Chain A
């Protein structure tokens, strides 16, 4: 059977003149189009063609708040399904899979009911139509899913198969119950104009107990036909139904059923019901008369109802592999010249043919949203019903569909987090796709950025971590939030950027005399080691703290080590030496003689390098003078300190 062919949809764009060139630009969730002219051969030829930019979107269900529940809840089910242990053989997991399938379906139904409520209650006719359409789609999806569950997942053998199919049809044919409600609530049910419709519908659905109860009402009204009604009641009560849990074998059931069938046929040929049109009709149905069944087209309303009814009354022991033959013929019989086979019909037919691939393929083509095919395929794959050796494609169909679905979620401001789990469970393609998409999540707030980061860190996506941190650091830097920029650089382990920001901090200090973001610098901890400049910044701040706490000796030691251990950049040495001045000028001797010698050495190193550097062609005379004065001052202080230190160290305390 061929796959469904659907032509590409055409979307009209207003305000772009017909035939004019259309430029476009891809966005995360849309495509922008605008009128333009592509011949880049010179100045443009025409005036402004109305310069509008149009944002074109797919009909995205993720923007519907009700459907969002569907996506969220099915996400839970999906994750639960992935964690079922692999070691247990598939056969014993069947009840689990059926249960999961039912979970999915109940989520669909809950969503449908909510949509239906809104559709009914809204006053906006356009909205009502839209919601109504969505309900129809979900109905169709549930119908298909349910059938797939019966045929593929539950995979009932002959006997049970028909019973499950009966359930399926009953679930999707509520007309009978609607009418029954009306009939029963009326004063005289047996006289209601829908009475016989209800009875016949019950019979068509194999709900014989209810049919009998309904008939009893008619029987009491027609005492003259009492015998006929009694006969019918008898036939209805005696119809055998296969009991899968029972001791009777299928063959035994078949024999019993044939006997019953023959009995009904005898009464029909006997004209036992010929005086009552309705009872005779019921009898014909019981015997599986095709024409009689086809006459009930309106009550059956669908070819697959017709199929199941026909099987019920002609061949209840139908085997799975025989289904497609009956399905095709029922479809043909049911559709007259006026009706056309529609995509839904093709999909159901493919299911009856047990062509799983075709079902999935057709659903992918016909439906706008990947939700259904992605989750169903995933479930079928877990049931080991998909064999990937059929596919040429490197990776498999399941991953393809899951990724299509999850990619669609990524553009949503909250659903993107669900999407991550889907990628996680696609071992071949998932990671690459996730890496690509997670980088694009807009980092609107710090909180969101941290969320995204955690996801990347949990998965060791180091490049993405680095990139996101860098983006945040850059943003902070541009807005002059140095502390934030620094902490992002540290998180990115970006030494170069950390160096840059540390420089900025130090520059700021030089110009303003104070540090900003002290908290951050004070609590750097081991992160300090990321870059030399950062280490210096941290240590320099430590020096200031020690000084502020009047722990002068420690401060002095630290200050000296910054220069001798070459942690401080040469350009900063002058500042450091200037910082040393107040320590040198204290009454108490702080720097030891050795330390003073070292300081002097540093000063000399500094001044000699300054001298060899191009003699201040750039720096004005004033600056040079200031520098010179500083140096002089330092030399004096150092000398004085040295003297005091030598004396102190030479003195013996008595």
Chain B
């Protein structure tokens, strides 16, 4: 792997989150400088900042894009106890020529009493919906019933998780076999309080979310959580960042038709990696769910991959080395295979081959 490009983000303080939009053509960054910046990828591959504005009165922890079916919409959450939804307004033509766009606030969600630690849009088949979680242990689910009027959001569900929440992840599966589901992680450090990951499932009959599962084996503080993209499987895969990296498989158990209540799951641990040798703060799946990345206290990002036998291995490590940023930020080293002395001098072989074949 190599560094193909370095972008000067120009935030005045630490960056806390970077998020690509659905097609990978735009990027949003948020920072402790209380602002959000939006970047557009130009045809030549360069990133241009097309908007930069103050969003909160405290550090902005996360920023996330809604599905493009709903237009150009962002959500941010902050230490200032609020989450906000932003929409891009198509500007005047001279703005467009200068490559600028404007984002306006559509709504502020002020229900939380404490820092809002995560905000995530629900899968698109559920409509324009988002969930926030806060240090006060409450998950709040909001919906905008009219997609054309983003200033109207209603609080649909308020779920108390009893423990301070640090992260939330929606199950992206749109299969009819799976009701809407999300997982919440808690960074409460008291080991006595049991499972730090809770899975909630929506019930069509009661029209409410109820707890389907608590992962009791996860007793240490959880900092991040991520469902893997589904790919037509019947079971779910969940990655967790805690004192190590853990991957769980949740297999729905067959429900009797008369059984009420949430689905029961068989919980299996698929992999556990302690290579970071320290707290793991972030986990995230790539788009095809073939790679998992994790970031830890050791200052490394590690990449994990399973082969066709479902054996997991670390396939790459990214490490900061503090070296100065030079103009040429690195060259690709072509295919990494040690060919060694077994293979003849290329030129000769090629000449020979064209003659001999």
**Which residues on A are within 8 Å of B, measured CB to CB?**
8-38, 40, 42-44, 46-61, 109, 112-113, 116, 120, 126, 130, 132-137, 139-140, 143, 170-178, 301-303, 339, 342-345, 361, 364, 366-369, 391-393, 396-397, 400-401, 404, 407, 429, 431-433, 436-437, 439-444, 463, 467, 470-471, 474-475, 478-480, 500
Cα(A103)–Cα(B130), bound, Å: 53
Contacting residue for A429 out of B17, B71, B232, CB 8 A: B232
Q: Is B90 a contact of A55 with CB atoms below 8 Å?
A: no
Cα(A631)–Cα(B166), bound, Å: 63
Q: Is A36 a contact of B2 with CB atoms below 8 Å?
A: no
Interface centre among A14, A391, A397, by most B CB within 10 Å?
A14
Q: Is A9 a contact of B316 with CB atoms below 8 Å?
A: yes
> Which residues of the other chain, B, contact A50 by a CB distance below 8 angstroms?
325
Q: Is B352 a contact of A177 with CB atoms below 8 Å?
A: yes
Give the number of residues in B that approach A within 8 Å (Cβ atoms): 114
Contacting residue for A44 out of B13, B115, B281, B317, CB 8 A: B13
Chain B residue nearest in CB terms to A494 = B69
Cα(A557)–Cα(B4), bound, Å: 68
Known contacts A175-B352, A177-B351; decide if A8 and B293 are in contact (CB<8 Å): no
Q: Does B287 reach chain A (CB closer than 8 Å)?
A: yes
**Interchain nearest-CB distance for B105 vs A (Å):** 17
- Pull 19 A–B residue pairs with CB atoms less than 8 Å apart, ordered by A: A9-B316, A11-B317, A12-B319, A14-B323, A14-B326, A18-B321, A24-B318, A26-B284, A47-B13, A49-B14, A56-B2, A59-B336, A109-B357, A303-B342, A342-B342, A361-B307, A391-B309, A470-B69, A478-B90
Q: Is A52 a contact of B346 with CB atoms below 8 Å?
A: no
Contacting residue for B285 out of A26, A42, A429, CB 8 A: A26
Known contacts A8-B317, A49-B14, A393-B309; decide if A170 and B322 are in contact (CB<8 Å): no
Cα(A112)–Cα(B335), bound, Å: 14
0 or 1 for each of B158-182: is its CB under 8 Å from A? (1 = yes): 0000000010000000100000000
Q: Is B344 a contact of A174 with CB atoms below 8 Å?
A: yes
Q: Does B32 reach chain A (CB closer than 8 Å)?
A: yes
Q: Is B309 a contact of A392 with CB atoms below 8 Å?
A: yes
> Which residues of the other chain, A, contact B317 by a CB distance below 8 angstroms?
8-11
Would you list the 4 A-B pairs with minimal beta carbon distance, nearest first? A174-B352, A16-B320, A432-B232, A400-B308
Chain A residue nearest in CB terms to B87 = A478
Contacting residue for A48 out of B12, B310, B356, CB 8 A: B12
Q: Is B7 a contact of A53 with CB atoms below 8 Å?
A: yes
Q: Does B355 reach chain A (CB closer than 8 Å)?
A: yes
**Interchain nearest-CB distance for B276 vs A (Å):** 11
Q: Is A392 a contact of B310 with CB atoms below 8 Å?
A: yes
Known contacts A17-B322, A20-B299, A137-B335; decide if A53 and B6 are in contact (CB<8 Å): yes
Known contacts A467-B69, A478-B72, A478-B90; decide if A56 and B307 are in contact (CB<8 Å): no
Chain B residue nearest in CB terms to A492 = B69
Contacting residue for B331 out of A46, A130, A436, CB 8 A: A130
Q: Is A23 a contact of B290 with CB atoms below 8 Å?
A: no
Cα(A191)–Cα(B333), bound, Å: 44
> Which residues of the other chain, B, contact A178 by a CB distance below 8 angstroms?
348, 351-352
Cα(A519)–Cα(B27), bound, Å: 37
Q: Is A52 a contact of B4 with CB atoms below 8 Å?
A: no
Contacting residue for B308 out of A42, A58, A391, CB 8 A: A391
Cα(A170)–Cα(B208), bound, Å: 73
Q: Is B287 a contact of A26 with CB atoms below 8 Å?
A: yes
Cα(A342)–Cα(B90), bound, Å: 59
Q: Is A393 a contact of B308 with CB atoms below 8 Å?
A: yes
Q: Is B70 a contact of A474 with CB atoms below 8 Å?
A: yes
Known: A140-B337, A178-B351, A401-B308. 12 other contacts (CB 8 A): A9-B315, A11-B2, A31-B293, A38-B295, A40-B117, A170-B356, A172-B349, A174-B351, A174-B352, A174-B353, A339-B341, A474-B68
Chain B residue nearest in CB terms to A393 = B308
**Interchain nearest-CB distance for B148 vs A (Å):** 6
**Interchain nearest-CB distance for A416 vs B (Å):** 13
Contacting residue for A40 out of B2, B12, B166, CB 8 A: B166
> Which residues of the other chain, A, contact B19 by a CB distance below 8 angstroms?
25
Chain A residue nearest in CB terms to B19 = A25
Q: Is B68 a contact of A14 with CB atoms below 8 Å?
A: no
Q: Is A43 a contact of B282 with CB atoms below 8 Å?
A: no
> Which residues of the other chain, A, contact B3 by a CB distance below 8 angstroms?
11, 13-14, 54-56
Q: Is B16 a contact of A23 with CB atoms below 8 Å?
A: yes
Q: Is B353 a contact of A52 with CB atoms below 8 Å?
A: no
Q: Is A35 a contact of B24 with CB atoms below 8 Å?
A: no
Q: Does B259 reach chain A (CB closer than 8 Å)?
A: no
Cα(A251)–Cα(B157), bound, Å: 84
Contacting residue for B4 out of A44, A56, A441, CB 8 A: A56
Q: Is A57 a contact of B2 with CB atoms below 8 Å?
A: yes
Q: Is A174 a contact of B335 with CB atoms below 8 Å?
A: no
Q: Is B31 a contact of A174 with CB atoms below 8 Å?
A: no
Interface centre among B15, B310, B325, B345, by most A CB within 10 Å?
B15
Cα(A364)–Cα(B319), bound, Å: 25
Docked complex: B1-56 residues within 8 A CB-CB of A: 1-20, 22-25, 27, 29, 31-32
> Which residues of the other chain, B, contact A436 by a CB distance below 8 angstroms?
229, 231, 287-288
Chain B residue nearest in CB terms to A61 = B335
Q: Is A18 a contact of B299 with CB atoms below 8 Å?
A: yes
> Which residues of the other chain, A, contact B314 by a CB distance below 8 angstroms?
8
Q: Does B329 reach chain A (CB closer than 8 Å)?
A: yes
Q: Does B350 reach chain A (CB closer than 8 Å)?
A: yes
> Which residues of the other chain, B, contact A33 by a CB distance below 8 angstroms?
301, 318
Cα(A30)–Cα(B18), bound, Å: 13
Q: Is B339 a contact of A344 with CB atoms below 8 Å?
A: yes
Cα(A120)–Cα(B70), bound, Å: 53
Q: Is A46 a contact of B14 with CB atoms below 8 Å?
A: yes
Known contacts A43-B79, A174-B344, A174-B349; decide if A15 and B308 are in contact (CB<8 Å): no
Cα(A474)–Cα(B87), bound, Å: 13
> Which residues of the other chain, A, contact B229 by a CB distance below 8 angstroms?
436
Q: Is B18 a contact of A34 with CB atoms below 8 Å?
A: yes
Known contacts A59-B335, A139-B346; decide if A8 and B8 are in contact (CB<8 Å): no
Cα(A252)–Cα(B349), bound, Å: 36
Contacting residue for A36 out of B1, B16, B223, B331, CB 8 A: B16
**Interchain nearest-CB distance for A461 vs B (Å):** 13
Known contacts A28-B24, A54-B5; decide if A134 and B335 are in contact (CB<8 Å): yes
Q: Is B18 a contact of A174 with CB atoms below 8 Å?
A: no
Q: Does B257 reach chain A (CB closer than 8 Å)?
A: no
Q: Does B270 reach chain A (CB closer than 8 Å)?
A: no
Q: Is A135 a contact of B352 with CB atoms below 8 Å?
A: no
Q: Is A26 a contact of B356 with CB atoms below 8 Å?
A: no
Q: Is A51 a contact of B281 with CB atoms below 8 Å?
A: no
Cα(A20)–Cα(B296), bound, Å: 9
Q: Is B318 a contact of A174 with CB atoms below 8 Å?
A: no
**Interchain nearest-CB distance for A109 vs B (Å):** 6
Q: Is B338 a contact of A343 with CB atoms below 8 Å?
A: yes
Cα(A474)–Cα(B128), bound, Å: 14
0 or 1 for each of B264-291: is its CB under 8 Å from A? (1 = yes): 0000000000000000011011111011
Q: Is B69 a contact of A474 with CB atoms below 8 Å?
A: yes
Cα(A20)–Cα(B301), bound, Å: 11
Cα(A583)–Cα(B176), bound, Å: 54
Cα(A478)–Cα(B25), bound, Å: 18
Cα(A113)–Cα(B357), bound, Å: 13
Q: Is B32 a contact of A44 with CB atoms below 8 Å?
A: yes
0 or 1 for each of B58-99: is its CB under 8 Å from A? (1 = yes): 110100000011111000000100000000101000000000
Known contacts A14-B323, A31-B293, A173-B349; decide if A440 and B24 are in contact (CB<8 Å): yes
**Interchain nearest-CB distance for A471 vs B (Å):** 5
Q: Is A174 a contact of B69 with CB atoms below 8 Å?
A: no
Q: Is B307 a contact of A364 with CB atoms below 8 Å?
A: yes
Chain B residue nearest in CB terms to A17 = B322
Q: Is A52 a contact of B6 with CB atoms below 8 Å?
A: yes
Cα(A344)–Cα(B253), bound, Å: 46
Known contacts A14-B3, A23-B282, A178-B351; decide if A342 and B334 are in contact (CB<8 Å): no
Cα(A317)–Cα(B131), bound, Å: 72
Cα(A143)–Cα(B352), bound, Å: 14
Q: Is A173 a contact of B344 with CB atoms below 8 Å?
A: yes
